[in-house]
Amino acid sequence: MDRITFLILFCIAVHGDIRKHIYISKELSWNAAQAYCRQYHTDLSYFDSQSEIDKLPKDAGGSISHGWIGLQRDPTNDAVWMWSGGGHITYANWEDGQPNNIMGIEDRGFMGPKGKWYDSKKQTDLPS
């Protein structure tokens, strides 16, 4: 079963030009998280700037933990990352040494507690 487990995922709701990031407390794989966000909100979160990431703890009512965001490798070019809602990333906030694509199978992205991004493989359960 393809499953990566996190306690939190980040959904985005778009109303006109205003984007609101929403924390959802569920243990879901990236694909299930994306489906959930698309059903109840708009999509997994995406970011255009550091200031957007800096607002996350306030929007969440406290500190942040690990959580899925809409990052995925472009299926036609492993060196390129794109957002699940479409379009290649124009701003990146990777942790040092990331993305590292261990074993060539890390094709989804999550955000760590300090707002840095990591790539991860779908087949591994990760601690919440």
- Domain coordinates of the chain in residue numbers? 8-121
Q: Cβ distance 117 to 110 under 8 Å?
A: yes
On average, the pLDDT of the chain sits at 81
pLDDT of residue 19: 76
What is the value of pTM for the model shown?
A: 0.83
Q: What is the CA radius of gyration of the chain?
A: 13
3-12: average pLDDT: 51
Asked if pLDDT for residue 65 goes beyond 80, the answer is no
d(CA 116, CA 98): 9
What's domain 8-121's architecture? Roll (3.10)
Read off the tokens for 127.
């601690």
Q: pLDDT tens digits for 30-61?
A: 888 888 889 988 898 899 999 988 888 776 66
Mean pLDDT of 75-83: 93
User: In Å, how far from its chain's centre is CA 91?
Assistant: 13
pLDDT band at 89 (very low <50, low <70, confident <90, very high): very high
Report percent pLDDT > 70 for the chain.
77
